[in-house]
C-alpha cells in the first residue's frame, strides 16, 4: 500500500464531515498526488523520511499552516495502519515545530485605542458607514464571522438581551450555501448583548432590504445581511470590507492601522474581556471554545500594565 492509498482509505472512512473539513481532505490528497512521497510504500517510510518530506514541503514554499494541515491528516492515517498491524510504528509521531519553522503570522488583538479609532473612521466615512453596525457587533460580541453571517431575525432575542448561536453559514467553492453546526461542540450558546449591540441589531433589521424572494438556506430565512443578489452575505464579504476600510484608512493617516479581520475582532473582544477581569470559564462559554486552554491563552497576551492594574485591584480590596 502506498502513502496515497493509505490516506485515501483513511479519508473514505470519514462520514458526515463539514464541508470545510472535506475541502481540507481534498487539498491534502491533491498535494500527496503531486509528491513522489505519495507513491512510497508505507512499510518503507521511516521517521527520517517523514521529517525530510515535511522539510521539502516548506522548502518548496508551503506555509507552516498548510504543512500542519497535511500532517494532521497523514499522521492519523499512519496510526490507522499501525492499528491494522500493517506497520509497527507511526513515522509521523513527532513535534512539528521541531522539524519545520513556524512562519505563520499570529493574528493579534488590537488595542482599545485602535478599536475606537477604527470604528470612528467607519462611522464617519460616507461609503463604509453602512457596515458600522455589523463591525461594531463583531467587536463587542466575539462571534465567529460564519456564526455572525448565519444570524437571522429570530436569533436576536431582544427581550432576553441575548443572541442565540446554534448554527453557522458557509458557502462552498461551487457557491452552494450550507448551514452547519458551530465549529465546536461548545459553540451552541447564548451570547449576551449590551444596549449598544441591541441598538445596532435594531438598526440592521430596520434598514434591511426586503427582497422579492426571501432566501432560504436549509430551512432558515430572515438572514440579517444580504448581498446585491439578495443572498446572505458570507465571511468573504466581510473580510473584503475590512480590507478595503483599512486600505482607505492607511491611505489617509500616517499612523497605520494593522491588519484587522473579523477574526481579529473576535480575538480583540476576548482579550478585552480578559483584561477587564472576566472569569475564564465565563469567557470560555461566551467565546464557544471547546477547550479552556484556548481561552486561557488570551490571558498570556496581557502586558505589564495589565498586571499592574490587577495588582492594584487586589491590594485595594
Just list the catalytic residues: 144, 183, 263, 266, 289, 299
CA-to-CA separations, 313 to 58, 222, 307, in angstroms, rounded: 47, 45, 10
The alpha carbon of 139 is separated from its chain's Cα centroid by a whole number of angstroms, namely 14
Amino acid at each position: 500500500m502506498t502513502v496515497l492509498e493509505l490516506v485515501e482509505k483513511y479519508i473514505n472512512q470519514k462520514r458526515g464531515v463539514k464541508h470545510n473539513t472535506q475541502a481540507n481532505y481534498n487539498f491534502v490528497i491533491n498535494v500527496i498526488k503531486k509528491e513522489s512521497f505519495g507513491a512510497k510504500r508505507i512499510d518503507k517510510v521511516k521517521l527520517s523520511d517523514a521529517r525530510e518530506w515535511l522539510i521539502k514541503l516548506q522548502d518548496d514554499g508551503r506555509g507552516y499552516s498548510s504543512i500542519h494541515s497535511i500532517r494532521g491528516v497523514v499522521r492519523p492515517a499512519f496510526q490507522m495502519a499501525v492499528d491494522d498491524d500493517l506497520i509497527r510504528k507511526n513515522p509521523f509521531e513527532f513535534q512539528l515545530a521541531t522539524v519545520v519553522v513556524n512562519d505563520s503570522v499570529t493574528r493579534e488583538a488590537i488595542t482599545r485605542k485602535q478599536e475606537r479609532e477604527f470604528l470612528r473612521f467607519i462611522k464617519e466615512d460616507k461609503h463604509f458607514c453602512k457596515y458600522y453596525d455589523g463591525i461594531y457587533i463583531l467587536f463587542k460580541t466575539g462571534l465567529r464571522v460564519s456564526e455572525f453571517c448565519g444570524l437571522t431575525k429570530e436569533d436576536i432575542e431582544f427581550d432576553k438581551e441575548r443572541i442565540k448561536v446554534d448554527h453557522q453559514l458557509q458557502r462552498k467553492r461551487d457557491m452552494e450555501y450550507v448551514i452547519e453546526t458551530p465549529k465546536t461542540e461548545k459553540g451552541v450558546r447564548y451570547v449576551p448583548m449590551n444596549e449598544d449591540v441591541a441598538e445596532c441589531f435594531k438598526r440592521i433589521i430596520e434598514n434591511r432590504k426586503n427582497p422579492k424572494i426571501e432566501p432560504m438556506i436549509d430551512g432558515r430565512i430572515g438572514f440579517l445581511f444580504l448581498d446585491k443578489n439578495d443572498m446572505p452575505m458570507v465571511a468573504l464579504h466581510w473580510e473584503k470590507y475590512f480590507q478595503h476600510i483599512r486600505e482607505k484608512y492607511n491611505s489617509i493617516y500616517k499612523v497605520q492601522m494593522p491588519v484587522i479581520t473579523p477574526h481579529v475582532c473576535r480575538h480583540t473582544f476576548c482579550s478585552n474581556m480578559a483584561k477587564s477581569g472576566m472569569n475564564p470559564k465565563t469567557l470560555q462559554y461566551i467565546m464557544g471554545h471547546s477547550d479552556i486552554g484556548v481561552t486561557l491563552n488570551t490571558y498570556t497576551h496581557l502586558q505589564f500594565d495589565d498586571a499592574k492594574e490587577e495588582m492594584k485591584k487586589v491590594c485595594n480590596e
